[in-house]
Chain A
Amino acid sequence: MRHRCAAALSIFALALMAPPVVLDAQDSGTTVIQNATILTVTNGTIEKGTIVIRNGKIAGVGRNLPVPAGAKVIDATGQYVMPGLIDCHSHIAADSINEGSVNVSSMVGIEDVLDPDDVNIYRDLAGGLTTANVLHGSANPIGGKNQVIKLRWGKDAKGLVFEGAMPGIKFALGENPKRQATGGGTGFGQQQPAQYPATRMGVMDVIREAFTEAREYRQKWQQYTQDRAGGKNPIPPRRDLKIEPLVEVLEGKRLVHAHCYRADEILQLIRLAEEFGFKIATFQHVLEGYKVAKEIAAHGAGGSTFSDWWAYKVEAADAIPYNAALMTDKGVVVSINSDSAEEARHLNQEAAKTMKWGGLSETDALKLVTLNPAKQLGIDRRVGSIEEGKDADLAIYDTHPLSVYSVVQKTIIDGEVYFDREKDVARRAEIDAEKKKLIEKEKGPARPAGRGPGRPAGRPAATEVTP
């Protein structure tokens, strides 16, 4: 019975669960958070501090700041405020993840499949997460374009987009792209015909071939532009939507986020990028990054890794929980990511693990899930710390967020409260009552026995990915 109407119920519940609390227009868009312990990340900790938010931006941070007349006040006595968390590797809010049918799928992008109704947006928001880098999967050496989003639960797909974030693209090295050769796929039900490459040699070749083509394509267009400027009337080259994003990579207009594990493949990609004159923005997973941290730092790439995942495949056999700390010590800009709707609910705790494994300071640990991923995504002027002028993306905890016992109380994006634990808890009785009513209604008076419709096909496995 329950399953029969579960889909209808959940849609209803979603709508009811937590519409954003849009601030009253009458208070001239000003909110003040008072009496909080503020973890600014860039300027230390402010005890009993105040944050003034105006028009979605942080207008002031400090002690004893005056409260503007008519401002909405959030009393955070005894609570901690930190910058909203940023996840540099996520697959939430997307209807599909892998276009694995070709070994270069740079023509596709997550932007086209954003799903604002994915309940994981709300769940992650409730974990203090405000920004996520929604990446294409790792089925092929060159994957699709990613989309950086803000977790503006309740807005439509367009409303999720982090306007102004650097565009990017997914690359993938090692076991996952290799697996396509056996038709293995990278997720449930994704059997594919056998496909090149089957080895790390092939993976690197696919990338090299693609950039060789991109370089020629770019030259053709340069020639065309030059000829036109020179008064000639040349025929324009045919546009290639697959190659264009790669040209943007060559021109430094699109970030490369490269899924990788083994030290040798990391080094290979660094050399290939240098050969073509572009930079890898982030190495994702990068579980053996600690072995070549020096080289990663010298290249100027970031490392976006797990806190303590290991042993789930051969290339994760040498993964160590000290990876983030060790790369940080060697000068790499490091972030801790989730690659999982669940893990993203407690990235603060994942960051805290680097204090235990490798001895990072509190501030360095906090940076792993705030300022550093912001830097890696090219959005650090907007988010990642609590500073005047930055977006008012904040997470409020009942105790220090690096404590395993901390619980998020409010999550704020652009100055709006998108998650409020108190309100969420308060609404539960109401939601339960509605659900019961719907179930009763569904049971109905007269219904032919055994003819109930099955639960319509949902989308549980569509976004399944292998890290």
Chain B
Amino acid sequence: MKTLVLTLALSAAVFAQPASRGYAIRNVKIHTLTGPAIERGTVVIRGGKIAGVGANVAAPAGAQVIDARGLEVYPGLIDSISSLGLTEISSIAATVDTSETGEFNPQLIAATAVHPASEHIPVARANGITHAVSAPGGGGGGRGGGGGSLIPGQASLIHLSGWTVEEMAIEPSIAMMLRWPAIQSRGFRGGFDPNLLGLRQRSFADSKREYDERVARIEDWLEAARHYAQAAEKGAKTKFERDLRLEALARVVKGQLAVVIQASDARDIKNAVEFAERHKLKMILAGGAEAWKVKDLLKQKNIPVILGPTQALPREEDDPYDRPFVTPGELSKAGVKIAIATFDSAYSRTLPYEAANAVGYGLPWEEAVKAVTLYPAQILGVSDRLGSIEEGKLANLIVTDGDPLRIQTQVKHLFIKGELTSTDNRHKQLYEKYRARP
């Protein structure tokens, strides 16, 4: 497994070599996101990276010059939790590779199953998504095996371009996914009762017992991984058998790999935070529908949140109607670092609108833009490479005719790894084909 990770990482580096003589995007409004916007400047791209940014930067000889008068350049958008590449037609199990059977599969890596030729990838790209975290365990209608996974595997950070997954991979293993076992006695979790022709109700005590058992199992695994790591460190090669699952989890308990904990209810989030602290895990909260209820705790413990879509119904019948729209603004105001993601594949392209819908309800526009660019890069620990327009960063950029969160805005040019990348896709092709029908 380690070999695979190394191979992927190595290949990603190899394939990031320059393929062109570079570009100079001129006369463009530059939204660097780390500094003030530059009203009219130049972005130079060379060797897959941003080689220069500023009002008075010269285009290097041989570079392809793109006159972007009237246009704006932003960092490419990142869908920080998605199932891109893992699912094609969500109702057809044969096309879904999101979730394995079994509760604990920390050894699995999403990139292993990412399908570079998925039609979803260019569709997302057309709306300005240049890279994404492809995460196991969710999405795709939950048909790719068991939905009861607690640790479904490792998420991969990928460029949304490449002939092979090796060309796409930025970090094949960016975080371990952990689905927090919710205490739920209502709704689907009680299961369907054919005798009642309705949802089975479970007592709180039953749900709590099941919850405790699941948490105990997670603890057992972490404990085993800790022992495994200790044994490995002592070089006791002959005294223990290699275990790929524990090897993967060892990186988590040693704090080398962040763990994305998916939880929605305030009680579950609190429990997860307490758990992560006890086990000294690098926790990222994902989903977080009720994170607003524990925002002070999240701020205090410095736990970032990758929120799900704002275009969602309130969880409780008596929640205010605008609850999901309001949440990002509330968390941001409380000082919690947030990213917004789609947790989807086909609808990854709606990412800018999931962020935009929070703006009308209190999230400042700049924060909304950062929630799909800079902040996810920081949360995932890759802001040295991605998330803003700064010299030395990977040139994943979008040139638009305006605010990238606005629905009517068009992506005019798109760069991934410093290469001008097509925004053509299956949808556009079908449109052109049938528009021409006599």
Contacts and interface: CB of A to CB of B under 8 A. Distances in A.
Interface of A: 3-4, 6, 9-10, 12-14, 17, 119-120, 122-123, 126, 188-189, 191, 290-291, 293-294, 308-314, 316-318, 320-322, 326, 329, 341-343, 345-346, 349, 352-353, 355-358, 398, 402-407, 424-425, 428, 431, 435, 450, 452, 454-455, 457-458, 460-461
Interface stretch (B11-19, B160-168, B192-200, B214-222): B192-200
A121 to B, nearest CB: 11
B89 A431 contact: no
A123 B321 contact: yes
B409 interface: yes
Given A189-B197, A312-B141, A407-B361, A9 B430 contact: no
A428 B320 contact: yes
Contact of B199 (A119, A290, A403, A460): A460
Contacts of B345: 311
B204 A9 contact: no
B430 A460 contact: no
A311 B359 CA distance: 29
A10 B314 CA distance: 13
Contact of B316 (A6, A311, A398, A403): A6
B356 A404 contact: yes
9 contacts: A6-B317, A291-B437, A308-B350, A313-B89, A313-B90, A316-B89, A317-B89, A322-B435, A454-B204
Given A6-B317, A123-B321, A329-B435, 11 more contacts: A13-B317, A126-B322, A294-B437, A313-B89, A313-B91, A320-B426, A342-B313, A356-B410, A404-B406, A450-B205, A461-B192
Nearest to A340: B313
B192 A188 contact: yes
A310 B437 contact: no
Interface residues of B, number: 58
B312 A342 contact: yes
A79 to B, nearest CB: 13
Contacts of A320: 426-428, 430-431
Given A3-B185, A326-B431, A326-B434, A352 B407 contact: yes
A346 B431 contact: no
Nearest to A425: B320
Given A352-B408, A454-B202, A406 B92 contact: no
Q: Top 3 nearest A-B pairs by Cβ distance?
A: A13-B318, A10-B317, A311-B346
Contacts of B407: 349, 352-353, 355-356, 402-404
Given A188-B192, A424-B321, A356 B430 contact: no
A120 B405 CA distance: 27
Given A321-B427, A454-B203, A326 B435 contact: yes
Contacts of A460: 187-188, 199
A405 B313 contact: no
B43 to A, nearest CB: 25
A260 to B, nearest CB: 16
A122 B321 contact: yes
A314 B92 contact: yes
Interface in B256-288: none
Given A431-B318, A455-B186, A356 B409 contact: yes
Given A314-B91, A424-B321, A454-B185, A123 B192 contact: no
A335 to B, nearest CB: 18
Contacts of B322: 126
Contacts of A123: 313-314, 321
Interface string B333-376: 00000000000011101100100110111000000000000000
A290 B318 contact: no
A235 B346 CA distance: 60
A308 B349 contact: yes
